[in-house]
């Protein structure tokens, strides 16, 4: 059983399109995250949600809109895709919104914008 | 300034050599945690270790060991008798209190690409 699953694994699309990445965790965790890994492998947090509430929104363009229908799901919708959005997007979850919580990561979604 | 610095972008060693990956961090918090994650070529992120700021004991797990020194703000990772399967990108990360009062997830270093040659 996959603990944190995200779909799709690969996403190839044209500039200007709108796309979504879905994430689900079956660990019973309260907190979920989206991270972006760029072509140089740098991992940076984008958003975090705790019990469906937005906690962190790091200077991410407002074309990116996370949605958490319940605490087991955190989806990422991206409008008007740009070339610079090409990256690997990782969903993660942790037990709580506390310092030191171990993050469990999904396997990543490789987004390629052409 | 970077909060987590991994100065070694890439390290290449021959199998069976020992290798140390450096990590230097910066925080004003007295309570914080440090992590190491491994990202093999398949791309997933694998948790290796978590250490809190009050526990400076070194840790050994098989061929892996970690040296945490608050005096130098370092949390270095050593692989003894390296193997080809150790080839991966290794990330050091910091968890500290967010300005809003909660935790801000993990702040990652830029990673060290470790290549173990047969």
pLDDT digits (tens, 9 = 90+) for A57-95: 777 899 999 999 999 999 999 999 999 999 999 999 999
A55 chain-B contacts, CB cut-off 8 A: 98, 100, 102
Mean pLDDT of chain B: 92
Residue B9: name the closest of B89, B93, B79 by CA: B89
Q: Which residues pair with A111 in a beta bridge?
A: A11, A87
What is the rounded distance in angstroms from the CA atom of residue B20 to the CA atom of residue B110?
Answer: 16
Contacts of A62 (CB under 8 A, 6+ apart): none
pLDDT band at residue B102 under the 50/70/90 scheme:
low
A98 chain-B contacts, CB cut-off 8 A: 102-103
Asked whether residue A114 carries a pLDDT value surpassing 80, the answer given is yes
CA within 13 Å, CB half, A78: 26
pLDDT for B110: 96
Of B89, B96, B98, the CB nearest to A41: B89
User: Mutating which of B45, B88, B89, B92 best tests the A interface, going by the most A Cβ atoms within 10 A?
Assistant: B45
pLDDT for B4: 95
CA within 13 Å, CB half, B111: 20
* Least Cα separation, residue A15 to chain B (angstroms): 25
Does A45 sit within 8 Å of B106, measured CB to CB? yes
pLDDT digits (tens, 9 = 90+) for A11-47: 999 999 999 999 999 999 999 999 999 999 999 999 9
User: Do the beta carbons of residue A110 and residue A96 sit within 8 Å?
Assistant: no
A101 chain-B contacts, CB cut-off 8 A: 95, 103
Please identify among residues 63-92 of chain B the ones whose CB lies closer than 8 Å to any CB of chain A: 89, 91
* Least Cα separation, residue B17 to chain A (angstroms): 25
Asked whether residue A100 carries a pLDDT value surpassing 90, the answer given is no
pLDDT digits (tens, 9 = 90+) for B13-59: 999 999 999 999 999 888 899 999 999 999 999 999 999 999 888 88
Q: For chain B, give the percent of residues with pLDDT over 70.
A: 92
Asked whether residue B98 carries a pLDDT value surpassing 70, the answer given is no
* Least Cα separation, residue A8 to chain B (angstroms): 14
Instruction: Choose between B14 and B104: higher pLDDT.
Output: B14
**CA B42-A90-B90 angle, 5° bins:** 50
Q: Which residues pair with A90 in a beta bridge?
A: A35
Three-state SS letters, A52-107 = CEEEEECCCCCCEEEEEEECCEEEEEECCCCHHHCEEEEEEEECCCCCCCCCEECC
User: Do the beta carbons of residue A8 and residue A108 sit within 8 Å?
Assistant: no
């Amino acid at each position: 059983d996959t603990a944190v699953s995200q779909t799709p694994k690969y996403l190839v699309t044209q500039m200007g399109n709108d796309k979504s990445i879905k994430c689900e965790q079956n660990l019973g965790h309260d907190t979920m995250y989206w991270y972006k890994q760029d072509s140089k492998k740098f991992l940076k947090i984008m958003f975090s949600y705790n019990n469906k509430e937005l906690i962190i929104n790091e200077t991410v363009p407002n074309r990116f809109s996370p949605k958490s229908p319940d605490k087991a799901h955190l989806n990422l919708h991206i409008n008007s895709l740009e070339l610079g959005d090409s990256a690997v997007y990782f969903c993660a979850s942790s037990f709580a919104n506390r310092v030191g919580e171990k993050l469990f990561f999904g396997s990543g979604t490789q987004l390629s914008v052409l | 300034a970077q909060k987590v610095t991994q100065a070694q972008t890439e390290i290449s060693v021959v199998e069976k050599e020992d290798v140390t990956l450096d990590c230097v961090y910066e925080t004003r918090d007295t309570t914080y945690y440090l992590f190491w994650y491994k990202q093999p070529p398949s791309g997933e992120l694998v948790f290796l270790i978590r250490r809190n700021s009050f526990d400076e004991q070194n840790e050994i797990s098989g061929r892996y060991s970690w040296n945490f020194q608050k005096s130098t703000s370092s949390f270095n990772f050593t692989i003894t008798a390296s193997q080809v399967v150790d080839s991966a990108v290794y990330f050091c990360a910091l968890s500290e209190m967010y300005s809003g009062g909660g935790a801000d997830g993990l702040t990652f270093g830029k990673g060290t690409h470790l290549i173990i040659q047969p």
